[in-house]
């Protein structure tokens, strides 16, 4: 089934629509939503016991995913977080890359702003490339997603499980 991915007036991806698509027919996938809007995004896609929306621990979402993925190697684990949250824990991309957990994926919804605190710009607004940093850390499958057409392939990759951290640009 193909999903309709919504975009804003500027053509950027709508975060809620992207997350809804990624989590559709998720099976037993365990999902961690990072502090900020991603916590609401995963909840809006369907609240369930397999969701952990975070209200704190900024910088820790990806490592929580690692601990969970190592403990539950037979299940898919998906961390959906924001660019500010990921930047605070950016060293964890290196720690995760070294562990190579096949059942862990990290999706960064990169709106280039700190959304909870007044939409101040993050470093990604000024050229810092999170997907590039993940690739340089040694994570084997990294993608920068900007177009609605790419989201479906992203969903399939996450559900198949090769552990890609991603950076869908979207308009909030």
Q: Which residues bind another protein (CB under 8 A)?
A: 30, 32, 52, 54-72, 89, 91-92, 94-95, 98-99
Length of the chain: 172
- In this complex, which beta carbon is closest to another protein, that of residue 44 or of residue 63? 63
For residue 137, which of 46, 66, 35 has the smallest C-alpha distance? 66
Residue 149 CA to residue 133 CA, distance in Å, equals 24
- Residue 141: CB minimum distance to another protein, A: 21
- In this complex, which beta carbon is closest to another protein, that of residue 23 or of residue 61? 61
- Residue 152: CB minimum distance to another protein, A: 28
- Residue 70: CB minimum distance to another protein, A: 6
Q: Kindly report the CA angle at 136 between 101 and 95, in degrees rounded to 5?
A: 40
């Amino acid at each position: 089934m193909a999903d309709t991915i919504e975009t804003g007036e500027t053509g950027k991806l709508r975060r809620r629509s992207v997350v809804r698509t990624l989590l559709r027919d998720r099976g037993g996938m365990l999902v961690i939503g990072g502090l900020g809007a991603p916590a609401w995004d995963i909840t809006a896609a369907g609240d369930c016991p397999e969701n952990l929306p975070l209200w704190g621990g900024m910088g820790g979402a990806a490592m929580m995913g690692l601990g969970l993925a190592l403990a539950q190697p037979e299940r898919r684990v998906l961390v959906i977080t924001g660019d500010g949250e990921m930047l605070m824990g950016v060293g964890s991309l290196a720690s995760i890359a070294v562990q190579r957990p096949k059942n862990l994926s990290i999706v960064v919804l990169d709106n280039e702003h700190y959304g909870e605190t007044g939409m101040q710009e993050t470093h990604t607004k000024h050229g810092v490339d999170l997907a590039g940093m993940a690739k340089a850390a040694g994570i084997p499958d990294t993608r920068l997603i900007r177009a609605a057409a790419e989201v479906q392939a992203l969903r399939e990759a996450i559900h198949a499980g090769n552990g890609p951290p991603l950076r869908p640009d979207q308009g909030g």
